[in-house]
Amino acid sequence: MKITPKIIENVVSEVAGADVIPIIKYLKNKKNISEFKIAEDLGLEVNRTRNILYRLHGANLVSFIRKKDKEKGWYIYYWTFNQARIKDLILSIKKNKIIKLNERLERENQCNFFICENACMRLDFEQAICFDFKCPECGLLMNQQNNKEIIEKIKKEIKQLEQELKKIMA
């Protein structure tokens, strides 16, 4: 699988938030860049830059080295983007989505769901009983929902994600 800049942006924003994209773009193909230089070149506050870098570091998307400033006596951090981590994150994200979809599929298969005409809320049997099968939002009677379409959609999503995983791992 070829990892394009768009894939990198999608993965990074899913893991650390969309606001980290400018820093990732800046660090790409560079090594050991001072957090002060990053902040200055991107027009960000140093504290905001550090916050973003720490989030990226939490996902192992950046690494750093620390050097002591001889004049001031404090440490300066130099950051590098870890692009090799992207493929692992893609795999992890897809596997987690499959796990969550399988859990949802199991719930859809095991529970009866109820919904009103206005589709205000969707409640399982226990919740619907608590409200006497009346919608807590609009007060209309709630009827059992046929969730076969939802189940099929979830199965299709799982199948698609599994195929994508096979491509990545090949």
- Convert the pLDDT of each residue in 101-121 to its tens digit: 999 999 999 999 999 999 999
Does 102 lie in the same domain as 34? no
Give the integer Cα–Cα distance in Å for 131 and 124: 11
Contacts of 97 (CB under 8 A, 6+ apart): 161
Q: Which of 36, 64, 83 is the last residue of a domain?
A: 83
User: pLDDT band for position 7 (50/70/90)?
Assistant: confident
Q: Which of 83, 113, 139 is the last residue of a domain?
A: 83
Residue 25 has pLDDT above 80, yes or no: yes
Structural domains of the chain, count: 2
Does 115 lie in the same domain as 74? no
Residue 165, token pair as written in the block: 């995983």
Tell me whether residue 108 is in a domain: yes
Tell me whether residue 124 is in a domain: yes
Does 122 lie in the same domain as 74? no
Question: Domain range spanning residue 106?
Answer: 93-169
Q: What are the Cα distances from residue 155, in Å, to 103, 145, 148?
A: 11, 18, 11
Does 74 lie in the same domain as 97? no
User: pLDDT band for position 168 (50/70/90)?
Assistant: confident
Tell me whether residue 88 is in a domain: no
Does 75 lie in the same domain as 118? no
CATH code of the domain in which 79 resides? 1.10.10.10
Tell me whether residue 60 is in a domain: yes
User: pLDDT band for position 74 (50/70/90)?
Assistant: confident
Q: Which of 58, 83, 108 is the last residue of a domain?
A: 83
Residue 148, token pair as written in the block: 């076969």
Residue 53 has pLDDT above 70, yes or no: yes
pLDDT of residue 169: 79
